[in-house]
Structure 1
Amino acid sequence: MGKQLIYSVYFILPILLLWGAKPAKKGEWNDGLSLSQTKAFQGFLAICIMLHHIGQKTCASWLFPKSRIIPGLEFFVPIGYILVSFFMFFNGYGAYKSFHTKKNYLNGFVKKRVLPVVLSLYSTTVIFFIARLLVGEKIDGQGAFFYLTSIKLCNPYTWYVIVLPFFYLAFYFAFRFIKKDGFAVAATTAFVVAYILLGTSIDHNDFLIRGEWWWNCVHMFPVGMIFAKYENKIIPHLKKYYLIYAIVAVAALYPLYLYSVYAQDAFSYYGENFFAPDKVMRRRLTLLSQVFVTMDFVLASLLLGMKVKIGNRFLKFMGTITLEFYLIHGLFVELCDHTFDGGVPSPFHIKNVFLYVLVVFALGVPSAILLKKFHGLILGTGSKKKKQKELKKAS
Structure 2
Amino acid sequence: MRVGYEYNGTVSEICIFILLLIVVLISLLPVNNNYLNVKSTKGLKGFLALEIVFHHLSQWVTTGVEFSNFNYMGTYTVSAFFFLSGYGLYIQNERKEGYLDNFLVKRLSRVIVPVIFVSGIYIVYFISNKYVITINYFINLFTKGSTIIANGWFVDVIILLYVCFYVSFKIFSNKTIAILVNTILIVGYIILATKLGYDFWWYNSSLPFALGLIWAKYNKEIDKVLSDYYFICIILITCLLFISHQYSFILKKLNLVDDYSYGFAANIDNIIFTVFFILIVRKIDFSNKYLLFLGKISFELYMIHGLVISIFGKYFVTSRLNDIIFTILVLSVSIILAWLINLIIKKTSIKTT
In structure 1, the partner of 2:50 is: 47
C-alpha deviation, 1:111, in angstroms? 2.7
Conservation of the 8 A alpha-carbon contact between 1:335 and 1:349 = no
Matches of 2:60 and 2:352 in 1, distance apart? Answer: 35
Are residues 148 and 126 of structure 1, via their aligned partners in 2, closer, same or farther at CA, if it must alter by over 3 Å? farther
How do 1:236-251 and structure 2 match up within 5 A? 236-251=224-239
1:235 to 223, 233, 242: 223
Are residues 166 and 365 of structure 1, via their aligned partners in 2, closer, same or farther at CA, if it must alter by over 3 Å? same
Query: Is 1:315 matched up with 2:288?
Result: no
2:72 to 42, 64, 78: 78
Conservation of the 8 A alpha-carbon contact between 2:145 and 2:153 = no
In structure 2, the partner of 1:32 is: 35
In structure 2, the partner of 1:260 is: 247
1:97 to 88, 91, 101: 91
The DSSP-based 3-state class of the residue aligned with 1:308 is coil
Conservation of the 8 A alpha-carbon contact between 2:308 and 2:330 = yes
The DSSP-based 3-state class of the residue aligned with 1:155 is coil
Conservation of the 8 A alpha-carbon contact between 1:125 and 1:150 = no
2:340 to 355, 367, 370: 370
Q: Gaps spanning 5+ residues in structure 1: where?
A: 1-20, 60-68, 204-209, 268-277, 338-345, 384-395
In structure 1, the partner of 2:186 is: 192
1:213 maps to amino acid: W
Number of positions where the alignment pairs a residue of Structure 1 with one of Structure 2:
323
C-alpha deviation, 1:145, in angstroms? 6.9
Query: Is 1:182 matched up with 2:179?
Result: no
In structure 2, the partner of 1:125 is: 119
In structure 2, the partner of 1:57 is: 60
The DSSP-based 3-state class of the residue aligned with 1:197 is helix
RMSD between aligned alpha carbons? Answer: 2.9
> 1:100-150: per-residue Cα shift (whole Å, max 9, x none)?
111211123123321121222222211111112223323345446767999
C-alpha deviation, 1:52, in angstroms? 0.9
Q: Gaps spanning 5+ residues in structure 2: where?
A: 1-25
More helix by share: 2
In structure 2, the partner of 1:226 is: 214
C-alpha deviation, 1:251, in angstroms? 4.3
More divergent stretch after superposition (287-296 vs 153-162): 287-296
Matches of 1:314 and 1:215 in 2, distance apart? Answer: 31
Conservation of the 8 A alpha-carbon contact between 1:126 and 1:148 = no
Conservation of the 8 A alpha-carbon contact between 1:93 and 1:221 = yes
Q: Provide TM-score, normalisation by structure 1.
A: 0.74
Matches of 1:86 and 1:133 in 2, distance apart? Answer: 35
Which aligned segments of 4 or more residues in structure 1 are displaced greater than 6 angstroms?
Answer: 147-151
Q: Provide TM-score, normalisation by structure 2.
A: 0.82
Percent identical among aligned pairs is: 25
1:234 maps to amino acid: I
C-alpha deviation, 1:216, in angstroms? 0.5
C-alpha deviation, 1:311, in angstroms? 3.0
1:230 maps to amino acid: Y
Query: Is 1:116 matched up with 2:110?
Result: yes
In structure 1, the partner of 2:329 is: 359
2:338 maps to amino acid: A
Conservation of the 8 A alpha-carbon contact between 1:129 and 1:148 = no
Query: Is 1:87 matched up with 2:81?
Result: yes
> 1:290-323: per-residue Cα shift (whole Å, max 9, x none)?
2233222221222222233233221111111111
